Each structure stands twice: as structure tokens, then as C-alpha cells.
Chains A and B, each alone.
Chain A
Amino acid sequence: MKNTNLSMDNILKTSQTNIDNATKYGKKRRRQEALLGYALASPGILVIVIFSLYPIIQTINLSFHSLKLTMPGLGEPFVGIKNYLEISHSARFWLAVWHTFEFTLYSVVFELVFGLLIALLINRPFFGRGLIRAVVLIPWAIPTAISSMMWKFMFDDQLGVVNPILMKLGIIHHSIVWLGNPNYALGSIIFVDVWKTTPFMALLLLAGLQVIPSELYESAKVDGANAWQRFFKITLPLLKPALLIALLFRTLDAFRVFDVIFILTGGGPGNSTESLSMYAQTVLMRYMDFGHGSALAVVTFVFILLISIFYIRLIGIPVDQENKE
């Protein structure tokens, strides 16, 4: 009896020292690992700090100064929130805010609806699916500037092909000046953006759909669920993470829209299609007014930040993934 007790004690003792050794050794290794982590992470992080974080801080700083490159004699005096006050009093600014929200809302909603439809359509195996998936990528891979030029030509009221097609189909009865008419210009721009990015949205959603196990659908079928029920009870809930992330990326992308508008209308006619990025770029580079332009850039940035926070609240923090493993 005594003997067994003793040996039990011994076993406990040795295992305790083993654990001690392991944690000591582990601590050293962990410290080394952390040091190596910092060393290896630093090049990429340094690049981000130098080329992104520092300029962002500079933009915020510039937005509190008056700086006009056309009048270098004036220097760079600190003016507080004067730039912000001035832009908030300008009708052109609020119009740009409105257009940006309008553009973002419409293009993202259409892209989501069409993207989901296409993803559902090509989710099942069929002859030629590989080719379709490749076709889907093409509008995404072509520079927006180039596809916008193509559409500018097709929308042209003199030479374009859009009017003849719509007239042939009986949808319109006389030529429309798509890009030169304030009533149609923003709609045309949204159309081009939807054309360009719906395929990409479809691709992201398709990837989300393919992760859903097919057994779920089979057992739901056995239980007598119809197609609608299967869609709302299985597809939609399981697709939610992919859906939200795709939406987040598309919304942020749409909100900073520049190329499509710059090429199709240049913000016109009048200022009827000017977005925030477009307006900020014009103030910065055409008027060379870096104070006001920076304030506009900061406002755009703040909007994007708010949108991201909203989405991330909905999704949960995507960077958490590591800890879940």
C-alpha cells in the first residue's frame, strides 16, 4: 500500500518537472517565434505604413490647412475646420454625396440580384460550365477604363449601337442621348458598372454555393421541402457569410467610383453624375486646391469607414478566423 503511494508520488513529481521543463522550453521557443514573427511581418507592414498609413495621416493634416498649388506664395496656413465648413456649404458637394450613394445603392443591389441569379443558374454541373466560368472573369479582367470606352462608343447617340438595338426591339421609338442627358446619364453609368461587375459577384457567390453540402438539399427534398423553401431555409442562411463579404467588397468599391464616371461623362452633363472621388480629384488636380480636395477625400474616407463598420458588425470580425481554428 505504502509502496504504491510512494510510486504514485514519484510519478506525479516527475511529470510535474516534465511540465516545468516543457513550459520553460516552450516559453523560450515562443519568444523566438514571436521575434521571428515581427521580423518577417515587418517588410510588408512597413510598406503599408509608409505608402498608406502615413499618406492618410497627411491627407487629414492637409485638410486642416489651406494649400493652393496655383498660389504658392500663400504658403500653407492652418485654417482649422474652415475647409470642411466651406465644402458643407456647397451644393456641389451634397450633390456629389447624393450621386455617390445613389450609384452605390443601385449598382450593388442590381449586382447582387443578378449575381445571385447567375450563380444559382451555373451552380449545377452542365455542359460548358468551365467555359462559362471563364467568360464570367473576362469583364472583371479588362481595365474599367477600356470597357468604359467601349460602352461610351456604344452609347453614342450618333454612332452608337445601343439606340438601334433598342429601337429594333421596340423598347424606344427615337434615339436617346444617353450620356448627354441628365435624366439618363447616371442610369447609363450604373448600367455599365452592373455589366462589368455582376459576373464577378456571381463568381464569389458561386464559390459560396459550392461549399454547401448537397446532402442538405437531398434530405430536405425527402422531407418534402419545395424549391422556395430549400432556397430560403438552406441556401440563403448558408450563403450569408459569402454574401455579406461579397457585398462589403462591392459596396466599398462602388463608393469610391472614379474610372467609369470619368470616362463616360466626366461628371457631366452639368455636375449631374459627379461622385465624391470624381469631385475630390477635380478639386485636387484641376483646381490644385489641396486643402479643399483633402477635406473631400477625408469625408469620402469617413463614409467608407462607417459603411465598413456597419458591415463588419453584421459579419463579425473576419480577422477572427485564425482563433476559431
Chain B
Amino acid sequence: MKMTSRLIRGTLFYTAVILFVVIVAFPFYWQLITSLKSPQEIYQMPPAWWPSSFYFGSYKDVFTKTPFGLYLLNSFIVSSITTILCLVFGSTTAYAVARLRFKGKKFLLGLVLSVSMFPPIAVLSPLFLILKNLHLLSTYQGLIFPYMTFTMPLTIWILSSFFREIPKELDEAAIVDGCTRLQTFWRIMLPLSGPGLFTTGILVFIAAWNEFLFAFTFMTNDAMRTVPVGIAMFQGEHSLPWGDISAASIVVTVPLIILVLIFQKRIISGLTAGAVKG
């Protein structure tokens, strides 16, 4: 009796888990098989659940007939530089917030938090005018600086929660041994929080890589588009080239999936450090 009820519960449990995975994964599966179908097969109704033969033309087309390679490069440059700048400027702020006592700290934290809350649309028009006047529209800087609006608060929140996890006794001991505060930051905190810096870096990179509104608005020149905007703009005059779009999506999705699978523990700890514990 007990055995069978356990068996039923186990079956129900795994059915629910499998159903969940199928719903989450189905669009990726569909994208993959669409990217491998020939154009005729894509337009066939009802759609085939598996391509009759593997066709790689869409992959070739997306790199030869569209500037997709360029979009990838743009996204990569913008996201990497944003990440590096954020870690450099944000880590000192996070250290001050996590370790030092000074007046107005609560106000600063409140400022950082409220900045992370406001909608990007609220800064769109002045940023556009500033970038236009400085002739920075359609330049890498013209996207990297606006990206700081949302990546800097993210960096400060996540890094400061990582810094708080490093035992205070360590920097106290270093101070007793004659280190200055700045030296403890440089020699103790930074090396010890290597994993935290790395995690924050991944999160900032993904956030910058995925951004759409600023990239869509500030990169007015086609050749400067980032991947999300580029793919969204693949639309032709009358129909959407779904084979190319699928192939391009797969090219972007697969590395991100691998990244997530490898670093899942770090990503989760970063996200929860920023949200749940905060």
C-alpha cells in the first residue's frame, strides 16, 4: 500500500518535472530544427517535427548575406568593455559600502537602489540628445556609457553582498599587521573575492548583451547594431526569413546555454545575493 502510493507520487513528480522542462525547452528545440530545415520545408503545413534532411544553407546565408558577424562583434565589444568598466569603478564603491563606516552611506545605498528601479525610458531622451551633441550616436562609447545606468547599480549591489561574506577578522588582522585600509582592499578583499568579481562580471555581461531599448535607439547606423537588435531587424519587405533568424538565434543561444550550464552555481549565487538576501 505504502509502496504503491510512493510510486504514484514519484511518477506524478517526475511527470510534472518533465512537463516543465518540455515547455521551457520546446522553443529552443523548434528553433534548432527550423534552422536545419530547407526553405521549402519551413513553408510546409502542417510543420514537420523533424527535418527530412539537414540543410545548412541558413547558417551560411546568415553570415554571408547579412552583417550578422559584425553584430556579434559589436555586441561582444560593447558588453566586454561595459563589464570591465563596471568592475573597476563599482568594486571600490562596493567595498566602501560593505566595510567602511561613513555618514550618508544609507543615502548612497538608497540612491543606488532607486536608480536600479527607474525605467530606462526615463533617461532615453536626454541620453539621446547628449550622445547626438557629442557625436557619439552609433559608436561603441555611445552604448557603453548608457549601459552604465543599469549595470553599475547591479555591480554595486552584488559585489557588496559578496564582500560582506568575507570574514571581517581577515581585514582586521591585516590592519593589526600594519596594512592600511586601502591595502586590505587591494591585497585581501580583491584576491579573496575573485569568484565574486567573476560572477558579477558574468551577470553584467549577460545584462549588457541582452539589452534592447538603448541599442535600438542609439545605434542608428545599421552596421553598429548589436545582436538582439540585428536579429529583430532581419525582417524583409514582405516575409520574415525564418530560416536565417533561426540560424542566427541558435548561433547566439548555444554559447549562452553552455555558459549557463558551466557557471550555473555562480550565476545563481550572484542572482540570489543581489535579490533574496538584499
Contacts and interface: CB of A to CB of B under 8 A. Distances in A.
B173 interface: no
B260 A137 contact: yes
Contacts of B103: 34
Given A33-B181, A207-B268, A143 B125 contact: no
B66 interface: no
A36 B182 contact: yes
The interface centre, meaning the residue of A51, A59, A133, A305 with most chain B CB atoms within 10 A of its CB, is A51
Interface in A129-162: 130, 132-139, 141-154, 158-159, 161
Given A143-B252, A298-B122, A263 B130 contact: no
Contact of B231 (A145, A281, A322): A145
Nearest to B31: A150
Given A40-B185, A122-B17, A258-B213, A56 B101 contact: no
Contacts of A109: none
Contacts of B95: 40
A204 interface: yes
Interface centre among B95, B123, B209, B257 (most CB of A within 10 A): B123
Contact of B45 (A158, A207, A320): A158
A62 interface: yes
Given A319-B109, A322-B105, A51 B148 contact: yes
B121 A154 contact: no
Contacts, number: 297
Nearest to B273: A207
A150 B240 CA distance: 12
Contact of A51 (B13, B45, B146, B268): B146
A301 interface: yes
Contact of B264 (A41, A55, A133): A133
B252 A59 contact: no
A149 B227 CA distance: 12
Interface in B86-120: 88-90, 92-97, 100-103, 105-106, 108-115, 117-120
B117 A304 contact: yes
Contacts of B217: 281, 284-285
Interface in A237-253: 241-242, 245-246, 249, 252
A230 interface: no
Interface in A197-220: 199-200, 203-204, 207-208, 211
Contacts of B278: 245, 318, 321
A149 B152 contact: no
A59 to B, nearest CB: 6
Interface stretch (A15-23, A42-50, A85-93, A179-187): A42-50
B122 A132 contact: no
A97 interface: no
Contacts of B31: 150, 153
Interface residues of B, number: 98
Interface string A253-265: 0011011001100
A315 to B, nearest CB: 11
A172 to B, nearest CB: 14
Contacts of A147: 27
A297 B93 contact: no
A52 interface: yes
Nearest to A312: B113
Given A36-B96, A43-B92, A159-B43, A308 B114 contact: yes
Interface in B118-145: 118-130, 145
A44 B156 contact: yes
A188 interface: no
B193 interface: no
Nearest to B75: A143
A55 B122 CA distance: 8
A293 B125 CA distance: 8
B100 A34 contact: yes
A48 B115 contact: yes
A48 B152 contact: yes
Contacts of A281: 121, 124, 213, 217
A164 B46 contact: yes
Given A44-B94, A45-B108, A300-B119, A137 B268 contact: yes
B166 interface: no
A38 interface: yes
A37 B102 contact: yes
B92 A44 contact: yes
Contacts of A137: 260, 264, 267-268
6 contacts: A34-B103, A138-B256, A151-B27, A203-B272, A252-B119, A300-B122
Interface of A: 30, 32-38, 40-45, 47-48, 51-56, 58-59, 62, 118, 121-122, 126, 128, 130, 132-139, 141-154, 158-159, 161, 164, 195, 199-200, 203-204, 207-208, 211, 241-242, 245-246, 249, 252, 255-256, 258-259, 262-263, 276-277, 280-281, 284-285, 290, 293-294, 296-298, 300-301, 304-305, 308, 317-322
Interface of B: 13, 16-17, 20-21, 23-25, 27-28, 30-31, 34, 42-43, 45-47, 88-90, 92-97, 100-103, 105-106, 108-115, 117-130, 145-146, 148-149, 152-153, 155-156, 181-182, 185, 206, 209-210, 212-213, 216-217, 227-229, 231-232, 240, 242, 245-246, 249, 252-253, 256-257, 259-261, 264, 267-268, 271-272, 275-276, 278
